[in-house]
Chains A and B, each alone.
Chain A
Amino acid sequence: MSGDPVLSIRDLVVRFDVPDGTVHAVERVSYDVGAGETVGVVGESGCGKSVTVMAALGLLPCPPGRVVGGEVLLEGQDLLRLSPRELRAVRGKQIAMVFQDPMTSLHPAYTVGDQVAEAVRAHDAGRSGRAAWGRAVELLELVGVPDADARARTYPHQWSGGMRQRAMIAMAISHHPKVLIADEPTTALDVTVQAQVLDLLREVQQETSSAIVLITHDLGVIAEMADRVVVMYAGRVVETGGTTTIFGDARHPYTRGLLACLPRPELEGQPLPAIPGAPPNLVDPPAGCAFHPRCSLRQGRARCVVETPILADVGEGHRAACHFSEELARTPLAAPPETAARR
């Protein structure tokens, strides 16, 4: 990454108070995004990847959510210290978001054009309604909505999933945001439509040179889109590095496990090297390294249970949170060590 990061999340800690106790949803998570850069945040459901950005933008429902510590710097300004009013001025203007389900993100009773125009006027009250509408149509054209002027006058239910996601992207880029946060933007879409939306995100970035935080569970999407990858597990960042590095030379057993268990033609007729067990309950996470009950690398070593590994440099811009990551340096990626094939 070159220069200062646009968005920098530092040691963020988020907890949820639930009937059964306290969920340690995000534990000292840090990552940066630079201008024009796409950072892919990958992890399974409940790993804290979405909660991190929600908390960063003050969008966490409180209660039960609670930001316990850390800072979120947007060009040096800590968003966590802003008043709700100041934060609202930042959201949608300097940082914009695209969510997974474009149907629930759009109001069913207003036309799509109205809603895009509303987003335009939200941070530009001086603009007249007519001008905002014009800009809305322009934005819809920009994101590839055919016949935008007429389509803008129709309602969300008349739009397909892919088109609705385009409308959401149009709203998100209406103020040339410095950071675009896309939370599973294509998960609800079909592969052929997903390809269109990913292409669109790429184009938008080239045009606006926004920093993109792309949150997804799909390693394929990460490989296609990201410059750098942040891998999260059980509320922590377990590995971070350049995309090629992560996919070619992962040094955390969880990252390795995720990559290894994807079906590949070479594995036809063999069991997939699955990661055994399930992600932990974050009310009562395992002691030491949260991944140790599922880890193929642990091999009974006590250190994993006693000491929580910190994110340490393992190479150029490549960090992993594993006590024994150097052992992975000697193992080829295709054959993850000692993978338990089946439970």
Chain B
Amino acid sequence: MTARTGPEAPSLDRDVDASARTELPAAGLGAAVGTSRRRVLRRLLRRPAGVVGIVLTGTVVAVGLLAPVLAPFDPFAVVGPSLSPPSGAHPMGTDALGRDLLSGVIFGARTTLVVAGLVGVLVLLIGVVVGTVSSYLGGWADDLLMRLTELFQVLPRFFLAIVVIAFFGAGLGLLVLVLGLTSWALLARVVRSEVLSLKEREFVDAARASGASGARIVVQEILPNALPAGTAFLGLILAQVLLIEASLGFIGLGDPNVVSWGYLASQAQRFLRVAWWMSVFPGLAIAVAVLGLNLLSDAVTDVLGTSR
């Protein structure tokens, strides 16, 4: 009992919160229960983490999409003196070969977008299918798929990626494939636990009672309710993926044919003391993207009322 401090049992207060909540009129309750997409967005915009997350992530996406328009130069073209500090002509300075760093960072966003997008699709596909199938079927299928998931969860992704690249050579496609095939485990577990709780819900019983098939129940009743929580976790997973991608680039295992932030940072290694801008700007870009995804997925989790 010593663990619980305060002159009165905290359990009392806990219950108070609960009863006060149930007394809240429909306006408050409705918001907590089912929410349409527009409502989620509105509620996201009401919390700082949500706003910052949306702005940061949105910036990266926009810059990536508009890279050819925004970038003043070809990122691989030599356009100025080498190692010149930030100036009017080159706001982020130039690298050792005289390439414009701003253009590099802008095109790097595009690479980030491609990696995150493709890995995201793969992870979502595998994670949702594994999570749903395993929880909906249960029994030995569940056991088997969950052991597999655990295996992928403990897999050292970074080293695996290094080994694969060492064997097959660096390439963006390969990188996406490796990261996508190895990053779905967390999502599968989240989806599984969501589906497990959802399939006991009364509205699922109602669908069964009306004679609906298993496939229809999964697609119409369960997945639409499980996916929001899943997407929140997808953000976290992608943030990790971006870090791995950047780290690979940094140690020189990125695709040499595309500009990526990790590649830019790796170029900066030898000039850390003489050209701070070469490491700082790509580093900032990585931080912005990772932070944005993290904040966004935190805020989405918050809004949906699910806890980790």
Classify A-B as touching or not with yes or no (CB < 8 A).
Answer: yes
Task: Select from chain B the residue with minimum beta-carbon distance to A85.
Answer: B7
In this complex, how many residues of chain A approach chain B with their Cβ under 8 Å: the count is 45
| A18-B28, A25-B23 known; A118-B4 Cβ under 8 A | yes
Determine the interface band of chain B, counting residues with CB < 8 A from chain A.
Answer: 20 to 34
A59 engages B9 (CB within 8 Å): no
Chain A positions 270-289 with a Cβ under 8 Å from a chain B Cβ:
279, 281-283
For the complex, would chain B's binding face be called helix, strand, loop or mixed by DSSP majority?
A: helix
A18 engages B27 (CB within 8 Å): yes
Q: Is B137 an interface residue (CB 8 A)?
A: no
**Which of these, A19, A65, A114, A279, contacts B31 with CB under 8 Å?**
A19
Task: Select from chain B the residue with minimum beta-carbon distance to A57.
Answer: B16
Residues of B within 8 Å of A3, CB to CB, are none
B7 engages A54 (CB within 8 Å): no
> Whole-angstrom distance from the CB of B208 to the nearest CB of chain A?
28
Q: Is B202 an interface residue (CB 8 A)?
A: no
Chain B positions 26-58 with a Cβ under 8 Å from a chain A Cβ:
26-28, 31, 42-43, 46
**Which of these, A21, A60, A61, contacts B27 with CB under 8 Å?**
A21
Q: Is A165 an interface residue (CB 8 A)?
A: no
Residues of A within 8 Å of B16, CB to CB, are 54, 59, 61, 99
> Whole-angstrom distance from the CB of A26 to the nearest CB of chain B?
10
CA gap between A91 and B12 in the complex, in Å:
11
Q: Is A9 an interface residue (CB 8 A)?
A: no
Q: Is B25 an interface residue (CB 8 A)?
A: yes
Which of A31-39, A102-110, A242-250, A254-262 contacts its partner?
Answer: A102-110
> Whole-angstrom distance from the CB of B167 to the nearest CB of chain A?
52
B7 engages A88 (CB within 8 Å): yes
Most chain A beta-carbon neighbours within 10 Å: one of B4, B11, B23, B24: B23
B24 engages A16 (CB within 8 Å): yes
| A110-B1, A115-B11 known; A183-B19 Cβ under 8 A | yes
- On B, residues with C-beta under 8 Å from A are 1, 4, 6-9, 11-28, 31, 42-43, 46
9 closest Cβ pairs, A-B complex: A59-B16, A46-B25, A92-B8, A105-B15, A18-B28, A50-B23, A282-B25, A20-B27, A107-B11
